[in-house]
Structure 1
Amino acid sequence: MNRTPIFAAVRHLLARPLREADVRALDSAIDAALELPAPLAVGPAGVALVRRFEGLARLRPDGMVEAYPDPGTGGDPWTIGWGATGPGIGPGTVWTRAQCDARLEADLARHAGEVAEAIGAAPTSQPQFDALVSFHYNTGAIARATLTRLHIAGDHEGAAQEFSRWVHAGGKVMKGLVRRREAEATLYRGES
């Protein structure tokens, strides 16, 4: 990056030549401004929200966890553990609790990365990010949702109101999704 115009502008504003200490301070400030932010990660509130609504369903007395059909469709996608879906998960799939926990950690990291990519440099608080990750974890819709566009535009109240539109599964309003979206909107607003 060519810093000459920045230094020239500062010299002009100060109406004096820059001292060595001024140059070091400006260089340091420019370097800090150019650093890429650390990748966003879902925080404890986001993890707790996902765990609360995904649940560890079908935990057997022997400690193993069985796959179950999607509540909205009664079939696909089959789910196991903390809401894991995908290839190899279907009727008869059984995992250990450790497998479920490891998959949750990996899925949360992947979804957090996708949310970070979708929102770009938009100012985002940790509660907002956590709510967006929970939403995306459940819907997979962060890249196409109006709430994402509203968040990026800085219309945080409008974005918070959009959560309530995502309560249908299998063509029906699902009470569990209504509760989840309310919790996500509350977290997004920083109210919990």
Structure 2
Amino acid sequence: MPDDALNAPAVDNSKLRLSAAAKARIRRYENPRYSYYDDGGKPGRGNCTWGVGTLAHKGPCSVAELKTKVDTTQVEAVFASRIADAERAVRREVTSRALSQNQFDALVSFVYNVGATGAGNVLSLVDDGDFKGAAEAISRTIYMTVRTRRGAKKVIAHGLIPRRAEESAPFRVPAD
């Protein structure tokens, strides 16, 4: 790596904010619910979730949780907080590449869904300029763990396939 590259200032993505269109897409993909539910299809499978895809805890909801209602104010406050957390994670981890609005939106959506830790590899690939690798890694993140009678297993979450296609699209650029 040339010496001037080592001394180059970090790229400033600090002014980027999630667009209104991307926020609406996250809401559509996450399908807001004002009660607790098992995110994995049938009750007793997947993870206990509420609001706009907010994980209550790993594993299915209890009977009491499934009866719990959540008000709109609480759902919207947590949604806004999680969006802000995802934006900060993208800005913190992608410092050597200027992001387009579409790329920023895609990464925030991905981080919102899988968490900053789960998105770490993708954010690192983007920061390194490996957009093809990032697109492939995003596209592979379509599995969830569900409980079975014999324990747990990973299954394809079919609802994630179109979401991942959309999130990976801004990084599917032709090679120079």
If the length of structure 1 is used for normalisation, what is the TM-score? 0.66
Residue 185 in structure 1 maps to residue 161 in structure 2: no
Identify which of 124, 127, 132 aligns with 2:102. Answer: 127
Aligned residue-pair number: 148
- C-alpha distance in 1 between matches for 2:80 and 2:22: 12
Q: Unpaired runs of 5+ in structure 1?
A: 1-32, 58-64
CA-to-aligned-CA distance 1:84-111 (integer Å, 9 cap, x gap) = 1247x94333112232122111110011
Sequence identity percentage: 30
Once the two structures are TM-superposed, the CA of residue 160 in structure 1 deviates from its matched residue by: 1.8
Equivalent residue number for residue 142 of structure 1: 119
* Closer, same or farther: CA 72–39 of 1 in aligned 2, 3 Å: farther
Residue 113 in structure 1 maps to residue 88 in structure 2: yes
Residue 172 in structure 1 maps to residue 165 in structure 2: no
SS at match of 1:50: helix
Once the two structures are TM-superposed, the CA of residue 36 in structure 1 deviates from its matched residue by: 6.2
- C-alpha distance in 2 between matches for 1:79 and 1:67: 6
8 Å Cα contact 2:29/2:163 also seen in 1? yes
Question: Relative to total residues, which structure has the larger helix share, 1 or 2?
Answer: 1
* Closer, same or farther: CA 187–37 of 1 in aligned 2, 3 Å: closer
- C-alpha distance in 1 between matches for 2:11 and 2:159: 41
Once the two structures are TM-superposed, the CA of residue 72 in structure 1 deviates from its matched residue by: 6.9
8 Å Cα contact 1:39/1:113 also seen in 2? no
Equivalent residue number for residue 47 of structure 2: 77
Question: Relative to total residues, which structure has the larger strand share, 1 or 2?
Answer: 2
If the length of structure 2 is used for normalisation, what is the TM-score? 0.71
Once the two structures are TM-superposed, the CA of residue 175 in structure 1 deviates from its matched residue by: 0.6
CA-to-aligned-CA distance 1:116-154 (integer Å, 9 cap, x gap) = 1121242111111111111111111122x2x22221122
- C-alpha distance in 2 between matches for 1:188 and 1:35: 18
- C-alpha distance in 2 between matches for 1:128 and 1:172: 28
Equivalent residue number for residue 157 of structure 1: 132
- C-alpha distance in 2 between matches for 1:182 and 1:117: 24
